[in-house]
A and B are shown apart, each in its own frame.
Chain A
């Protein structure tokens, strides 16, 4: 009799402890939801209208693609300031090949990605093997590739782009007709499929972790999290289905997020990135080929930046000298809002994606309610500072315990 209140109390406090320990991970997600709710109210429901959700995805896809590569570079303890210029440069290159030279669209895409890789080789060499800090190399790269963009374009613009490249930027998966008169069938099917896979995957993982006695997550928490994420997927699927279906770029993004998340958490390469960012000396003395890892990270960033460049040019149907201006800052901000540490060693791909979505929703929501770009910049700055300050505060608090 007397023991039972004690146990409830201790299990409650252990659940509270668990929540606090997960604050870093969960906090950013909660922040995203709060921001969605605020803007849903402020915009009088426009934010989550089907066409706006679809718009949100397409509008932010290129920054999210950049954020994936950026967070990896930041985890390794570097930075890349050149990605915005690479976006512009690749737009110009792709436009030249597809329009001026009349290459087939697929050849233009492959060649553009290859050029992105070469750009990465160039920057990776200086950072990894020559030993110049990434800040300097990519600051130079920012100027070099912006300049080259203008050289390639020769003070004009290139338009239009071939349809497949335009589809990459703003197109939708072909539909299969409508359910109940208004829901696109393919979108519904894919949404349900993803939800099922997520449930199965989560249950399997939990079972394995229990078998190894690794599980520290309270079951209720697990259930709440699962219902919530699955619900989210279904809601998004519903919203997309009631508009034009699934944007092609969302498929690309989805594949990238899953693949890179897996790579960062489970592959040797990913583990070496975290080890380097956490303690470069210790990683080197453990046999990690730190120079090669750094080099490959920049090559990877080059390829992702070129993909973002294709998406952006395709969406605008235009190659223009200012394409991608300032994208590097959005990508960097996304990574830091998403919980990456300035000193390296900490961060996740999903965190960076959520960070990017927060920025995207701020942009979109503020535009809808008619906040001027001046105030938009101001508010984004405050959010970035606040997110990192929260993180630093959190770390200091747990560190002093």
Chain B
């Protein structure tokens, strides 16, 4: 009998219109720390959601064998009952409850229906000691830092008699010291016989603590490497993560690059609720007319935070730095000010930040520049219709009329509405945050064509993307962002996926 605590065999998971995972197999040995690597959207989280029962048995194909027994988890409770516990990237703690209450949430220590507080706090203290925390269990979660909160999550997992602990990007929100502490703890738990699966973008961490690593790319397993036996380097992992055929998925584009239109200097941004945490460390970047500039960075690198802080300080606190438009310093302290200075930002999360989903296409398109359709305070609804209709045809928004409600459009068409809105505002610089997220391949090609068109009209375009091939396919120049630092500025001719990934995972100096 093998020494594998877990085997997932030929897992295939489809969402409407998308194959998220195709025949993914993974074996985890008892007592090891097993890392899973892959680009954003490669399918890592989907795989872990299947393992933990978030996606119930039956909604996917394939087989899961845990401790030699086939298992069919239908809920998270099912998986936790046998000792599989997942800790999500977004911590799931209730902020105004105490540490002890959180540890036993949904699993309360009780006697005849009444909570036994002494037992609760006593047991919590024991669990906290195991994860190296000496805080009083009655401390509220809001009063401890993110690093400690992460440890409380692990203590909570321990309270469930965990055998296999899954951590999704556990150090993404932590500083170096807390990260080091967490990694130590994982090693310590390993000695106690707890197996861990860790999803991480930080290759140096993986190199430090993982015994083996499975690489997933585009919903398929690429390979599993034994860290010690194969003497795996970071470069080796990067090659596995990005090695893919670019093909002809990007429209041709001959750049006509003009003068500098926007420059950002010494841009520093602090976290909005934790003012001591620096999210962007003195970033410098510029874009010229007709240029498409990419910003590459892994999740948590600060891409969206950088863009939104420039766009009317929509993110962050204690922001400092300078913004120059065509060489002259400008202020972008509010969104109307940013728009008036010719800057537009199309969000990565169009449903939450981009569209009024209960209103129609034309009113969404006119939303950012309504004054252009206004005479003495009154909106000219007919002119609005004509304008929107023009964009519908130009951008190939698939809807019979511009009176259709945007909430009912597909992702690609919603994105075209967002782009139309900002094109109508006629900015000089467009910041497009993940412009093709959640969009099918055909619509992606159309979006790329639109981006090229905007550049050829002399606008400066900044594209933020998690997909390296996309940036390599459309950008003239690419900045890499790692943990809030701009680590490189690479022209298209020199850029390779391996090089960019190296800069994106580079540690700060």
Contacts and interface: CB of A to CB of B under 8 A. Distances in A.
Interface of A: 208, 212, 214, 216, 266-269, 271-272, 274-275, 278-279, 281-289, 341, 345-346
A284 B347 CA distance: 12
A343 B136 CA distance: 41
Q: Which of B339, B355, B367 has the most CB of A within 10 A?
A: B367
A172 to B, nearest CB: 34
B379 A287 contact: no
A274 B357 CA distance: 11
Nearest to B363: A271
B232 interface: no
Contact of B357 (A214, A279, A286, A341): A279
A282 B358 CA distance: 12
B379 A283 contact: no
B359 A275 contact: yes
Contact of B356 (A208, A266, A278): A278
A216 B402 CA distance: 12
A290 to B, nearest CB: 10
A270 to B, nearest CB: 8
Contact of A271 (B336, B338, B370): B370
Nearest to A289: B336
Interface stretch (B154-162, B321-329, B381-389): B381-389
B382 A267 contact: no
Contacts of B336: 287, 289
B378 interface: yes
Closest 8 CB pairs of A and B: A278-B356, A286-B368, A287-B339, A287-B336, A286-B367, A279-B356, A281-B353, A287-B335
B371 interface: yes
Interface string B395-416: 0000001010000000000000
A284 B311 CA distance: 11
A283 B352 CA distance: 10
B27 to A, nearest CB: 42
B379 A271 contact: yes
Contact of B345 (A269, A285, A288, A346): A285
Contact of A283 (B314, B345, B356, B377): B356
A288 B421 CA distance: 14
B314 A285 contact: yes
Contacts of A272: 370
B356 A284 contact: no
B385 A212 contact: yes
A214 to B, nearest CB: 6
22 contacts: A212-B385, A212-B386, A216-B403, A266-B381, A267-B378, A272-B370, A275-B356, A275-B363, A278-B356, A279-B355, A279-B356, A284-B314, A285-B335, A285-B354, A286-B335, A286-B368, A286-B421, A287-B335, A287-B338, A341-B358, A345-B358, A345-B359
Given A268-B374, A287-B368, A282 B356 contact: yes
Contacts of B421: 286
Contacts of A283: 356, 367
Given A212-B386, A268-B371, A287-B338, 9 more contacts: A208-B382, A268-B377, A271-B363, A271-B370, A275-B356, A278-B359, A281-B352, A285-B353, A345-B359
| Chain B, interface residues (CB within 8 Å), range | 20 to 34
Contacts of B347: 285
Contacts of B335: 284-287
Contacts of A214: 382, 385, 403
Nearest to B376: A267
A286 B358 CA distance: 16
Contacts of A289: 336
Nearest to A344: B358
Nearest to A276: B356
Nearest to B422: A286
B264 to A, nearest CB: 19
Q: Which of B356, B379, B401 has the most CB of A within 10 A?
A: B356
Contacts of A212: 382, 385-386
A282 B368 CA distance: 10
A176 to B, nearest CB: 35
Nearest to B346: A285
A274 B374 CA distance: 17
A35 B73 CA distance: 54
A275 B354 CA distance: 11
Contact of B367 (A267, A275, A346): A275
Nearest to A290: B335
A243 to B, nearest CB: 37
Contacts of A288: 367
A268 B374 CA distance: 8
Contacts of B345: 285
Contacts of B357: 278-279
Contacts of B356: 274-275, 278-279, 282-283, 345
Contacts of A269: 377
Contacts of A284: 314, 335
Given A285-B345, A286-B368, A287-B339, A346 B374 contact: no
Contact of B378 (A266, A274, A275, A278): A266
Nearest to A395: B358
